[in-house]
Structure formats: structure tokens, C-alpha cells
Amino acid sequence: MLVRKNLFSLTSEDPRAFGVHLAAASKEHPVYLDEGLGLPVVLRGSDVSAVLRDTETFSTRAYDIGIMKGSLVALDGAAHTRTRRLFNAVLSPRVVTRYEEAFVTPVARRVVDRLARKERADLFDDFACAIPMGVTSALFGMQEERIAENDVLIRKMIRSVVMPQAPDIVAEGRSAHAAMRAQLREIAEREMAHPSDTLLGEIARAIAAEGLGGVDACEGVVLTLILGSYETTSWMLANLMTALLAHPDAMADLRQEPSLLPQAIEESTRWCSSATGIVRFVEREATIAGETLPAGTIVYLSLTALHYDEQAYPRPEVFDIRRRPVGLLHFGAGPHYCVGAPLARMEARVGVSLLLERFPALRADPAVRPVFSTSSRGSAAFGPDRIPALLM
């Protein structure tokens, strides 16, 4: 029988606490039943990686019961390969570079320009949310004001995707989706009729060319991209800024050696990862770390514990922008590795580069201490409730 614990309901002023907490637990009980989540949880990184690569035993069918039914995240096998090929084409390195020049850099400049009017700021709202919100608007044709108005709805939908085993949360996600449905449909109809020169326009053209469906298919893509490109990128940026503000020497090094920024981004997703975990559906009885999971079980895979495994990452509690972390699970692994990872990394690189360039005196505001939790701001992510900073 699985040991019962409650490890995911954590609040701390230390951004490392969650990773340290789970890594320690993984040594004693690599698979356990989490009382808060209501699911068996796999903690050990090697086991999580193996599960993510075994799509026949551990499928994504758990996602096919909610608002993501039929979408990329819920597909496996040939259907997944066919749909993912479409996303890969519009998120290739060549295309992402074009987005950087045409959309992301102008958005990031506007965000940083607005900050220049302030002496202090909450970099969560004013930076980490503002950049993905502006990029989402530019790439998908949804007005920034609409995205801001839908912020609570977007978070409810993501929670329902991450926690499909919780009926109340799934119901909230369905209600939030219903409230946004008209907007999603309007965008999909517009793009299928007259594809724009945006990421969504390119996808609409590909849907038509590949015979992958019509407005319904495009609407599903709109939902996938809005959930995947705004909220998750916001948390990644938030935790990156948290790490840098906590380490002024690292910020100084980045100003001297901007080429280290990609490594700093990777290290921040290890040191303070916002992605807590994902679920899989057990298609046939499986044994993990000596524990048997019956067919039909929904299992939760921790994406965090590995990042504080001292065998994988020596001195894991240390934030080291010269570290070259490999095998990170922040964006998942296997066939369902996050298709939007290149875009998220690029947004972080562009935004932080401009921020550090504009504000040489940027530092943490010592008067306010952020609090970190696994459900900060009503989300499904681990991160701060605020990012207080002094700009001048």
C-alpha cells in the first residue's frame, strides 16, 4: 500500500523550499499517495523520465475528459505526431527568429519603456505577465485588454488541465472555457477566413492545407496556444526574475557576459521551477520503484524533485548561471516535450536582456518579501505572490 503524504501544499519565503522538500522525500518514498492531490505521485527523476517516454503504458488520455479533449496535449500515437508536426513547423528556430524581430522585441521594449516611468515596481505584473500578454496578443490577434480581463478564467482552465482528477476544478475549468468560448470562436473564424501574418495565421493556413479540419480545429489551437503561451511563460519569467534579484552578482555577470543569459534561464527553471507536475493515465498495470499502479490509475509526475538531486546537479541549492543543466524536466520529456519551449525561452531572453540594459541599478526591494507557494495567485504553478523591485 502506498504511503500517504501531503507534499504539494507548501508555502515558504524560500524559493528553493519546494525543490529541496520533494528531493528529500524522493529518497525515502519515490512513489507515494498525495493526500492533497488525491493521486499517486512519482517523485524520482529517472522514473518520471521513463514514464514520459513510455506512451503505450502511460498515455495522455487523462486530458481527454476536459476542455482539452482532442487537442495536442490529449493525443498520442499517429494523431499526436500529425498534429505536432503542424506546431513544429510554425515554431521552428527559423520562424521563432522571425517572431523575435517582428513581435517579441517590440512588445518587450514597450513593457520596459513603461517601467522607465517608475522608481519601484512589482515585476510580476509589470514585467513577467506584461511580456507574454503582449506577445500573445501580437501572435494570436487577441487584444491585450481582453487577455487581462480573462486572466482569472485562463488560470482556472489551466488548473483544470493540470488536475483532471479533481471534479470541482474540472467543472470550474469548463465554466471558464464556456465564458471565453465566443472570443475563441471569433478569432478562429477570422483566421480561417482570412489568415493573418501571425503565428495563428500560419497555423490556420496549415490546417487548411493539411486537411486537419476547419474552424473547430482552429478554435482548439487558439485555446491551446493561449493557455500554453501566456500563463506558463509568465510563471517562468517570474521565477527567472526571482532568481536574478536574489543574486545580484549573477545580474552583474549577465551585464558583463550577455551570452550567459540562455544558461541563466535554464538554471532558473532548475533552481525555482514553476512547473510542478503533469498527469498520465495508466493504460496497463505498471510497477514503478516497487509500487504497483493498476490500469486506469491517473498518476501525477513531479517535474521538480530531480532538479534538487545532488547526484544530477551538485550543490543544487546554489544558483549558478555557469552551470549547464541537462535533463531538466521543466518542459517535460519524451514525445510530449513542450512544443512552445523555444518561444518561451526566446521571450525570456529578449525581455531580461532589455530590462538589465535599461536598469543598471535594478535590485530587490528589501521592504517587501515575496511568499512562494504551489498555488500562488490561484494558479497551478509554484512561484511568488509578487516580485518587489527597485528600478532606480
Q: What is the pLDDT of residues 307-335, one digit of tens each?
A: 999 999 999 999 999 998 888 999 988 89
Mapped onto helix, strand or coil, the DSSP state of residue 5 is strand
pLDDT digits (tens, 9 = 90+) for 354-363: 999 999 999 9
Would you give per-residue pLDDT tens digits along the chain (392 residues)?
Answer: 899 999 998 899 999 999 999 999 999 999 999 999 899 999 999 999 999 999 999 999 988 877 888 888 888 888 888 888 878 877 888 888 888 988 999 999 999 999 998 999 999 999 999 999 999 888 877 778 878 788 888 888 888 888 887 888 889 999 999 998 888 888 889 988 888 888 788 888 888 887 777 888 888 888 887 787 788 899 999 999 999 999 999 999 999 999 999 999 999 999 999 999 999 999 999 999 999 999 999 999 999 999 999 999 999 999 999 998 888 999 988 898 988 888 999 999 999 999 999 999 999 999 999 999 998 888 889 999 999 999 99
**Which cell numbers in the block locate residue 42?**
512519482
Record the pTM. 0.92
**From the candidate CATH numbers 1.10.630.10, 1.20.210.10, 3.40.630.30, 2.60.40.10, the one assigned to the domain spanning 4-390:** 1.10.630.10
Q: To which residue does cell 478562429 refer?
A: 188
CA distance 320 to 268: 9
Beta carbons within 10 angstroms of residue 368's beta carbon: 12
Alpha helices, DSSP H, located in 91-231: 93-99, 105-115, 123, 130-140, 144-149, 151-162, 167-193, 199-210, 215-226
